[in-house]
Structure 1
Amino acid sequence: MKFSLLSGPFISLTLLGINTAVLAQYSPKKPYKGNVGPTLSQSIVTPVTFNPVAPAGAPNIVYIMLDDVGWGASSAFGGLVETPVFDSLANNGLRYTNFHTTAICSPTRASLLTGRNHHSVNVPTVIDAAVNLPGHNGYMPFEKGTIAEILREDGYNTYAVGKWHVTPSPDLTQAGPFNRWPTGRGFDAFFGFMAGETDQYTPALWENTIKVEPDLQGKHLTTVLVDKAISYIAGQHSAAPDKPFFLYFTPGATHGPHQVDRSWVDKYKGKFDAGWDAYREQVLARQKKLGLVPANATLPPRNPGVKAWESLSPTEKKVFARFFEVYAGFLSHTDYEVGRLINYLRDTKQLDNTLVVLIIGDNGASKEGGLSGHVHGINEYIDGSLFSENYEQRIKDIDSLYDRIGSAASGPNYPVGWAQAANTPFRYLKQDANSEGGTRNPLIIFYPKLIRKGGIRTQYSHVNSVTPTVLEIAGLSIPKVINGYPQDTLEGISLAYTLNNAAAAGRHHIQYYEIAGGRSVYKDGWKAAVSHQRGTPFSADKWELYHLDEDFNEQHDLAAGNPAKLKELQALFDREAKKYNVYPLLGDTTRLTPAILTRGPLDSRSSAILYPGLTQVPTRSAPFLSEQSFIVKADVELSSVSNEGVLLSVGGRFSGFTFFVQQGKLKAVHNNNGKLTDLTSGKTVPVGKAILRYELKYTRAAKLTDPAGTEALYINDEKVAERAITKADATISPYDEGLDVGRDQGSAVSPLYTSPYNFTGKLHHIEIIHP
């Protein structure tokens, strides 16, 4: 069957979409067409439709987006990691080889959900780093509705399962407001995590707006997420089999931590011993065979700092190969779990009328493992220890933990040599908005009702194109008003014109990119780009120029030979930046201090009183403790000398701080990426009422190992312990797990106790003071 937007069924669907949208949004009291008599027997009962009804035959819509995968990882795009489910979707759908994301997660998700550019919806970078400026504050405007808000008005049920990461940090407390949580942006139900990553075995999960602490019973998080997605669909399909659904499925895979059951890792044992250089060569050959890249394509040089595999020591080769075995197992496991979802739709006879959009990665492969990789979680990247610690010693430490890599006892990410390999055939990585390696990702569109056989599409496109594409294919439209907010137009360019015409001329002519000062602009096959080193002035940036139509993986900088074209594109970037609120550029010599970030009710006060029951408040939403002086006061009452437990904890087994009572003594422990330091009172905590105090006095320091002040413990104003600290001790900003009062939920910061280690005395409240 030929696909045409002018065919009769699509005209009628579009008209129905417009009508139902208007009725759904503007729904005055409807006249009753029956007859109301003085008694029921004298009345004529006529049903009234109060809720929006989807157009007849409207498809189910499924967005599946993975995290940090890279263009050349999955076998669907020539990679050496086996992804048979993705392969099947691609072989029976369309592969888009010129599709782009924004180079980092939150902006890509905001753009996907809204069909707009990421600065247009105030998400310039990861939501945790939003700044109080137009275009940058993290608050997606309600005038720019999400796909879920649109589809719900068109009679769909809407479900979000997995990673969210576009709710502003100040709103991520139990006080809300919840209007920018998933259920506030059009989703009937949400189950997943709110941050950029979470542990795959002890995740920080929410259901709708309620924090939950589920026992996964040893299951992997991706398995649990698929179970939840299937349960939502099963419930709806049982109650209303003719009603379509929209599923936004975004697992944490394959963002760090790379964790998966050992059986998936063992599947790849020894398969990457030849290293990342051989991997790139093999994958490029496979990509040519699949017709995904030009036949004359060559590999770009290694990224800066990446060594030739053959130059590595035996220990480096051993641990680096292990990192990628774990990663490959993680990706294959994800493919298997997505297959369970697809098979469920097939078994319930829903797949033929389901439009599946599979985006294999929300940006390029991750650079967050540095040159060595890491095993103790993302805080090794955030606090800079990944770059400041002795490289040889890091390799020895990783080797000592070899058997743990990939298990729940580790928080790994591979080294950047493997990240570039996973990005084959491109150069550079996630966060690099100037590069195809940072912004080009595989896109697969699968829709049996319209796409009868597989194919490849090469038209230029962007993540903001997905929602316009889906709405056009489904014959739906955007209500003029959603929830009382007049709607702005979409900014993405629909790809529906490519479904039945591989040779159709591209329609997406211009696209800007910008993350933390790195930036580029595309126009009709040409691209001007500039990398930016954070903390340096923009005047030092050097622009490059590429003709992508002839040099798709950016190996030949034409800036010197074609200054006129470069100047034209620089002026175009300036116009686009002004149009979409890109300015001011972030990432120069101005530090992103807490004072200029968006701040919430807990981190904007000099004193905050917290009560037991408060759990897993994200670090950026909680009182800010990192690299500054603060005091913790616990108002307690002990009924016996055996009372013990956590008073306040922040973080988990890979990074954090905990303040607790144990065996009669007051204790504080810092977990600096698995390295533990502790302070214990010299006196016993008395039975009865007491004020237990922890005090950190911070002195600004440059290096993590530099002296940075002192910390002390007090019982009823009597100092009972004190020691000097380093900057590492004062860097209290764990990412995966949040702040708890009266317990340590999730994983334990300290191995001295087992979570949740609830305080067994009476804890009236905790007060955190910034003096």
Structure 2
Amino acid sequence: MRALIIVLLAASILSCMAKDEATPVQKNSNGSLQSPPNILLIVADDLGYSDLGAYGSEIDTPSIDSLASNGALFSNFYAHANCSPSRTMLFTGIDSHLAGLGAMHGYEGDNQRGIPGYEGHLNQQTVSFAKLLQNSGYQTYMTGKWHLGDTPGSSPKAQGFDRYFAQMKGSPPSGHFNVNGGRKGATRAYLEDGVDRTGMPVPDDFFSSNFYTSKLIEYIDAGQQNASPFFAYLAFSAPHIPVQAPESHIDLYKGRYDKGYDVLRQRRFNKMQELGLIDKNVSLSARAPDVEPWENLTIEDQGIQSRRMEIYAGAIDNLDDNVGRLLDYLRASNQLDNTLILFMSDNGAAGFTGWQSKVLVQRYNNADNSLENLGRDGSMMFYGPGWASASSTPFYLFKRHMSEGGIRVPFIISGPGVEHHATVSREMLTIRDVAPTLLDVAGVRYPAAEFEGRKVLPQTGLSFVRKLQYPEDHTHIHQTTEVFGWELFKRRAVRKGDWKAVLQETPFGTGNWQLYDLSVDPGETHDLAQQEKEKLNEMKVAWKSYAENNNVIISNAPLRWP
């Protein structure tokens, strides 16, 4: 078996490392020294749980699906309900309320500002796994969305990347067809190795997913003469708003969605049952409360809605083509077999409402959202809560909500040491588990208490390396007594074992705690708060424990997100 816990780096590298960051020497059973694997981490932005073929989608995603066919697909993997909190936990292995993104930057309440854990960027109590890999001898590259801060201590350079082309903000400031700074002409929206690239000239066929992939290949290729392994982070900004697709993909799905989002939800639900992702006795979640039944729409509105989903599907198809292009490069350069590859989404699908669309159209300079221009340069397209509900199948709601559709995301891992082949794993994992796992893969120890002269918090995620090495191992990484919590925009959720309690405002919730047994009801269709009052009280205690241990401060600002 190809071992995952691997690494020997040159003595010159080891000698310059702090004791608690040292890399242990590992040997094969025959005594020969092993080489550490390359690591490729791919993150899609606002991709829904069921938007990949391997998860039941009709969208053509053969490249990503091939990773699942040759590795492990996880059906019970949790991120957060929004991008920067998720990415904070991804890189640190620590809850976002402790690590600096306890609230979305710019939307903090007065009671959160100035409080440690709510700085709006990765704080000094954290150290990213990229930095630790870099210190252990890895070449480190990233392209795409950063959204973790632009302070000296939170920049890609400070967090461990040798080369980077980073979209610093949450969404492409002027869309996916250029690198401009947005309506205010902001600078430093895009940085390459510390140099401001905002507004740089781009070719006529520029599109973010294509460009970020090409840049990453450029960086990896330039480092091939170096014998050290690489860590590469490809952070697509697609299919985040504005939902756009290049001309090569914008019409690929024309006519495919004319029967509407309700039919699509049911088709995906049926396919997921066929694939073994959900049990036959599971019920499909309720439609989001702000979604009109498809048959109630006018013919004109149905046509506009269908076009929105066609463009969204084209953006995902293009994303998958770029994953395939990167895999082809690694294969042609004889690097693929020694590259551990992880693919995930940062949160659930984006179900923006009509109310917010007006704000966003103004934000993008009164965008041209005519049917002819929809999804092209200059448009500000969002595909809406109806399609986002379909993307979240079989779960309820989507991004920014603590229901399963907002926080449960696709996660696939393939490569050396992954002794799975087309395995569907129902092991519950979280995005906080990725950093400890990748450090484990590289044989790099997390600092015990201090890093570079500053105190750092301990990681709370757990390595799941043994689940990758030993598929037949049925012991769990997380115990059923462990408490998991989520909070953002006043919305809250807590999970313990198979039980989950959720608190969200009307009309998305009741305004009180609701209770669900996820073992039989992952769609959160049957609120058991009244029947299981003792269990509900237990979950409330669990929430209090989570909140106290993780510095959760409920904002005193009005809820500003739909």
Aligned residue in 1 for 2:347:
363
How far apart, CA to CA, are the structure 2 residues paired with 1:372 and 1:263? 31
State how far apart, in whole Å, the 2-side matches of 1:147 and 1:57 are. Answer: 19
Aligned to 1:753: none
Given candidates 147, 156, 159, the residue that maps to 2:138 is: 156
| Partner residue, 1:82 | 60
Of 543, 546, 556 in structure 1, the residue corresponding to residue 516 of structure 2 is 546
Give 1:119's match in structure 2, choosing from 91, 94, 97.
97
Alpha carbons of 1:299 and 1:134: their partners in 2 closer, same or farther (altered >3 Å)?
same
Alignment of 1:514-529 (within 5 A): 514-529=487-502
- 2:159 equivalent to 1:195: no
Counterparts of residues 429-578 of structure 1 (less than 5 Å): 429-433=398-402, 435-451=403-419, 453-480=421-448, 481-499=450-468, 500-501=470-471, 504-508=474-478, 509-532=482-505, 541-578=511-548
Distance 1:156 1:466, change over 3 A: same
Question: Quick check: 1:497–1:504 contact (8 Å CA) kept in 2?
Answer: no
Does 1:336 find its partner at 2:318? Answer: no
Task: Sort the Cα spacing of 1:306 and 1:589 in 2 relative to 1 into closer, same or farther, 3 A.
Answer: closer
Is 1:425 the equivalent of 2:391? Answer: no
Letter in 2 for 1:494: S
Give distance in 2, aligned partners of 1:98 and 1:189: 33
The code of the aligned residue for 1:342 comes to: L
Taking every aligned residue pair, what percent have the same amino acid on both sides?
Answer: 31
Residue of structure 2 equivalent to 1:595: none
Alignment correspondent of 1:280:
265
Partners of 2:456 and 2:286 lie apart in 1 by 46
Going by fraction, where is strand more abundant, 1 or 2?
Answer: 1
TM-score (norm 2): 0.88
Partners of 2:70 and 2:421 within 8 A in 1? yes
Task: Between 59-68 and 256-265, report the one with greater CA deviation.
Answer: 256-265
Q: Distance in 2 between matches of 1:19 and 1:563?
A: 60
What SS does the aligned partner of 1:352 have? helix
Does residue 226 of the first structure (1) align with residue 213 of the second (2)? Answer: yes
Structure 1 residue 135: Cα displacement: 2.2
What does the per-residue CA deviation read over 1:488-538, in whole Å, with 9 as the maximum and x for residues that have no partner? Answer: 32111222232222562323232100011100111111111101369xxx9
Letter in 2 for 1:70: G
1:713-732 to structure 2, matched below 5 A, reads none
Aligned-residue offset at 1:377 = 7.8
Any conservation in 1 of the 2:2–2:416 contact (CA below 8 Å)? Answer: no
State the Cα distance separating 1:382 from its structure 2 match: 11
Shift of 1:21: 8.2
- The superposition leaves residues 565-584 of structure 1 with CA deviations (integer Å, 9 ceiling, x where unpaired) of 1111111111111111112x
Cα distance in 1 for partners of 2:355, 2:485 equals 32
Shift of 1:290: 1.2
Any conservation in 1 of the 2:123–2:154 contact (CA below 8 Å)?
A: no
1:184 aligns with 2:158: yes
Residue aligning to 1:215: 201
Q: Distance in 2 between matches of 1:460 and 1:409?
A: 41
What CA deviation, in whole Å up to 9, does each residue of 1:711-759 have, x standing for no partner? Answer: xxxxxxxxxxxxxxxxxxxxxxxxxxxxxxxxxxxxxxxxxxxxxxxxx
Structure 1 residues without counterparts, runs of 5 or longer: 28-50, 387-396, 593-771
Tell me what 1:378 maps to.
Answer: 360
Q: Check the 8 A contact 1:377/1:410 in 2, yes or no.
A: no
Q: Write out per-residue CA displacement over residues 283-337 of structure 1, whole angstroms, 9 at most, x where no aligned residue.
A: 0111111111112222122110211111210011000000000000001001101
Q: 1:58-79 CA distances to partner (integer Å, 9 max, x unpaired)?
A: 0111111001111111212111
Measured in 2, the distance between the counterparts of 1:231 and 1:561 equals 58
Q: C-alpha separation between the residues in 2 aligned to 1:358 and 1:306?
A: 30
The structure whose RCO (Cα within 8 Å, separation 6+) is larger is: 2
What is the aligned partner in structure 2 of residue 165 from structure 1?
147
C-alpha distance in 2, partners of 1:208/1:68?
26
Closer, same or farther in 2 for the Cα pair 1:191/1:456, shift >3 Å? same
Query: In 2, distance between residues paired with 1:54 and 1:379?
Result: 56
Pick the aligned partner of 2:298 from 313, 336, 352. Answer: 313
Q: Which has the larger radius of gyration?
A: 1
- What SS does the aligned partner of 1:106 have? helix
Relative to structure 1, the CA distance from residue 87 to residue 207 in structure 2 (aligned partners, 3 Å threshold; closer, same or farther) is: same
Q: What pairs up with 1:588-627 in 2 under 5 angstroms?
A: 589=558
Report what 1:67 is aligned to.
45
What is the identity, as a one-letter code, of the residue corresponding to 2:385? V
Match of 2:233 among 233, 248, 252: 248
**1: CA distance, partners of 2:88 / 2:463:** 17
Normalization by structure 1: what TM-score?
A: 0.65
Letter in 1 for 2:545: R
485-494 or 308-317, larger mean C-alpha shift: 485-494
> How far apart, in 2, do the equivalents of 1:324 and 1:278 lie?
13
Q: How far has the Cα of 1:485 moved from its partner?
A: 2.7
Query: How many angstroms apart in 2 are the aligned matches of 1:502 and 1:255?
Result: 37
How many Å apart are 1:456 and its aligned residue? 1.0
> Which residue identity does 2:513 align to in structure 1?
W
Give SS of 1:201's match: coil
Letter in 1 for 2:306: A
The alpha carbon displacement at 1:404 in A equals 0.4
Residues 289 and 151 (structure 1), Cα distance of their counterparts in 2 relative to 1, 3 Å cut = same
C-alpha distance after superposition, 1:226-259 (max 9, x if no partner)? 111011101111x21x211111110111101111
Q: Say which SS state the counterpart of residue 329 (structure 1) adopts.
A: helix
Q: In 2, Cα distance between the equivalents of 1:328 and 1:61?
A: 28
Say whether the 8 Å CA contact 2:176–2:242 is kept in structure 1.
yes
Contact 2:100 2:121 in 1 (8 A): yes
Listed as ranges, the matches of 1:136-151 within 5 Å are 136-151=118-133
One-letter amino acid matched to 2:129: I
> Residue deviations 1:36-69, cap 9 Å, x none?
xxxxxxxxxxxxxxx9999741011111100111
The match for 2:30 is none
Deviation, structure 1 residue 551: 1.4
SS across alignment from 2:97:
coil
Letter matched to residue 339 of structure 2 = T
In 2, Cα distance between equivalents of 1:221 and 1:185: 23
Distance 1:152 1:52, change over 3 A: farther
The residue type equivalent to 1:349 in the other structure is N
